[in-house]
Amino acid sequence: MRVVAGSLGGRKLKVPEGSGTRPTTDRVREAVFNALFSLGAIEDANVIDLFAGSGALGIEALSRGAQRATFVEQAPAALAVLRDNLHQLDLLDRATVVAGDGFVHLQRSGPFDLVLLDPPYGFDGWDDLLGMIVSGVVVIESDREIAVPPHWLVHRVKRYGTSVVTFASASDPREAAS
């Protein structure tokens, strides 16, 4: 696996061993970040990569011009690989690694300009998770199409093999009512 484009394009990324994580393929990351570029969602963005795994999504954002990225991951093996990737790519000064639950961190932090969500397939906490996000462009990667809150704007939904990626803009329901 490698960083697809930007200042770190072509650099290799390590991935955790085993089946506990499912890294987003280079092809899907390239398509996702090309779409995000067209939305103007990357340059100087403050990014959160929940369910970060190896950190490939957040690292791609940093490579393409995001200002900062917060990586949230629970699995010890994935955290070790994530930290190693950030160190090897000299990104530690632009990255924060949080060992823990993404729900808890999301409640305590923010706002973020770009929210990257790629939980394990079969994840069933979408309503609760999306209900916590009040602003920013959100990328949802899943094994199925995910319904976003009614006050959100869906930019596009695209299938890449077994992955369905939804691009949406989150907005606070209080803003939508005004």
Q: Quick one: which of 68, 44, 61 has its CA closest to 118?
A: 61
Give the pLDDT confidence of 57-90 residue by residue, as tens digits. Answer: 999 999 999 999 999 999 999 999 999 999 999 9
Give the pLDDT confidence of 8-36 residue by residue, as tens digits. Answer: 999 999 998 865 566 778 889 999 999 99
Mean of all residue pLDDT scores within the chain: 90
Quote the radius of gyration of the chain (alpha carbons, Å): 15
How far is C-alpha 102 from the chain's CA centre?
11
Q: Are 44 and 66 in contact (CB under 8 A)?
A: yes
Vertex 157: Cα angle to 178 and 47 (nearest 5): 65
Sheet of 95-99, strands arranged across:
95-99, 68-73, 46-50, 114-117, 135-142, 163-171, 153-160
Say which CATH class 26-177 falls into. alpha beta
pLDDT value for 178: 43
Give the pLDDT confidence of 109-161 residue by residue, as tens digits. Answer: 878 999 999 998 789 999 999 999 988 999 999 999 999 999 899 999 999 98
